[in-house]
């Protein structure tokens, strides 16, 4: 990779300099922080809305905008439990890959989940109660996921976003060019939102773009097609990292940089942004390693030099602080003080020496 292409341009907004002319599909989206994992399904106090004889919903977080219609391509995250045993059998947040669902073309076991999604708005998070008839049925599933027979289900689901299309085309039915093109449109949408400082909405678009570039898809690509896909996928991960750093979600930013570095271990932007995130977490040694490696490939970059200088100043300040702390604990070494001789002791010593002198004189005369 050319060093000039790798150089960081922190002052240049994301997306600047990229090709225009890509027609953007209409979409509705929102993004929030992933919910905290817990032992079981969340406890929800909101009212129960009956959507179907076998499906009910309780809203955890309100969404906004329109609801998806039939054949909308929806991107969702969810956790799923069996209602009786509270056994969690699926978690897309943990896998870090949202699920694509074309409403009206969903698998039979996801029919109840789809009914719930029809009722949701972008960004909405809800708890769905689904009867076994609209889940894995009388037989259940004994592969993956492992669901017993006639198991009622609970879903904690979030509708990340959706695209309205006339026919509803799943990723698996697209050609390679169509999938890369769809991902690139999401990336361009994200870049425009980033320029407007709409970070969470921008992240939503990048996340949907990454969903088109899933591991199963990338594994099949070679040569120019893989290069084309990485030219879309890697910038999305890097832009996600930039958003997450601004939102102070440093661990997640490090994860996205790591994905890029797996494909391109000398990617300067990935090294730089991972270094920034690590520095914010106080991981100064590993942050310095990232910055030094980035500087190796972009030696003239001022942003890298600035970050390395900031780390040096941090280390100096920490040393001074520690020095003061240790000084306060042990204190200065005490100076030896001159001993004061008591006048009583002085007189006693004089009398004793006088007595010894007289005694020696008397003894000397006796010997003569």
> Domain limits of the chain?
27-32+45-163, 171-312
| d(C-alpha 291, C-alpha 304), whole Å | 6
Same fold, 27-32+45-163 and 171-312: no
Q: What is the structure's pLDDT at 335?
A: 62
The continuous run of DSSP H or E covering 207 comes out as helix 199-212
Q: What is the structure's pLDDT at 236?
A: 95
Mean pLDDT for each 10-residue chunk of the chain (368 residues)? Answer: 38 35 34 59 94 96 88 90 93 81 90 96 93 95 90 95 68 83 89 91 86 84 90 94 95 94 94 96 94 94 93 83 68 59 70 74 66
The hierarchical CATH code for the domain 171-312 is 1.25.40.10
Q: What is the structure's pLDDT at 332?
A: 60
Q: What is the structure's pLDDT at 336?
A: 60
Q: What is the structure's pLDDT at 5?
A: 37
Structurally, what CATH architecture does the domain formed by 27-32+45-163 represent? Roll (3.10)
Query: What's the predicted TM-score (pTM) here?
Result: 0.57
Could you tell me which of 239, 131, 254, 132 has the C-alpha nearest to residue 189?
239
Could you tell me which of 130, 122, 121 has the C-alpha nearest to residue 156?
130
Looking only at the bridges linking them, the beta strands covering 125-130 and 99-102 are unpaired
Output the CA torsion 297→298→300→301 (10° steps): -150
| Residue 3: CB atoms within 10 Å | 14
């Amino acid at each position: 990779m050319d060093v000039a292409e790798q150089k960081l341009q922190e002052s240049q907004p994301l997306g600047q300099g990229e090709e225009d002319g890509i027609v953007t599909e209409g979409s509705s989206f929102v993004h929030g922080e992933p919910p905290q994992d817990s032992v079981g399904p969340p406890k929800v106090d909101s009212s129960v809305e009956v959507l179907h004889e076998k499906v009910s919903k309780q809203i955890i977080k309100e969404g906004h905008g329109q609801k998806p219609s039939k054949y909308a391509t929806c991107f969702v995250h969810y956790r799923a439990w069996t209602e009786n045993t509270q056994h969690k059998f699926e978690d897309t947040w943990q896998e870090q890959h949202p699920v694509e669902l074309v409403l009206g073309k969903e698998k039979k076991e996801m029919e109840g989940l789809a009914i719930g999604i029809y009722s949701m708005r972008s960004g909405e998070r809800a708890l769905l109660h689904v009867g076994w008839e609209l889940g894995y049925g009388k037989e259940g599933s004994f592969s993956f996921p492992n669901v017993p027979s006639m198991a009622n289900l609970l879903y904690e689901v979030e509708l990340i976003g959706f695209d309205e299309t006339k026919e509803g085309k799943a990723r698996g039915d697209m050609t390679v060019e169509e999938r890369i093109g769809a991902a690139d449109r999401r990336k361009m949408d994200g870049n425009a939102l980033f320029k407007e400082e709409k970070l969470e909405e921008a992240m939503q678009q990048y996340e949907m773009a990454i969903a088109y570039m899933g591991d199963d898809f990338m594994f099949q690509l070679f040569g120019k097609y893989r290069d084309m896909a990485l030219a879309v996928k890697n910038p999305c991960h890097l832009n996600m990292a930039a958003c997450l750093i601004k939102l102070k979600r440093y661990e997640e930013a490090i994860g996205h940089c790591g994905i890029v570095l797996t494909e391109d271990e000398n990617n300067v932007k990935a090294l730089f942004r991972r270094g920034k995130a690590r520095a914010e977490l106080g991981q100064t040694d590993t942050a310095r390693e990232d910055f030094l490696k980035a500087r190796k490939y972009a030696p003239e970059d001022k942003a890298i030099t600035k970050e390395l200088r900031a780390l040096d100043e941090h280390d100096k300040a920490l040393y001074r602080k520690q020095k003061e702390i240790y000084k306060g604990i042990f204190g200065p070494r005490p100076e030896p003080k001159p001993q004061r001789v008591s006048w009583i002791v002085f007189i006693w010593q004089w009398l004793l020496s006088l007595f010894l002198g007289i005694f020696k004189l008397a003894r000397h005369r006796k010997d003569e």
